[in-house]
Amino acid sequence: MSGILCTMKEIRRLTGFHPATIYRKIKKNEFPEPIKIGTASRWPEEDYAKWRAEYISKQRADPTDKLCE
């Protein structure tokens, strides 16, 4: 467990998602919820890594599933 927290800017760079898409996916339980520090959103690196691994696995199982809706 690294304890590193990713910013929205970092999550955008890593996923290629617009912030609205990230929050839409959070509402649909398709992306991990952030930790709020004041008004800032931060994602534990482990949560993002787990999501990424699950997403890649799902893509390999069903390559017709689109990254962005």
Instruction: Go through the domains of the chain in sequence order and give each one's CATH number.
Output: 5-61 (1.10.238.160)
pLDDT for residue 65: 62
Contacts 24+ apart (CB under 8 A), 15-24: 16/67, 17/68, 21/68
Q: Name the band, by pLDDT with cuts 50, 70 and 90, for residue 62.
A: confident
Q: pTM for this one?
A: 0.80
Mean local confidence (pLDDT), 39-57: 95
Dump pLDDT digits (tens) for 3-47.
Answer: 999 999 999 999 999 999 999 999 999 999 999 999 999 999 999
Count of positions (residues) in the chain: 69
Does pLDDT of 66 surpass 80?
no
Q: Which residue has the tokens 């931060």?
A: 42
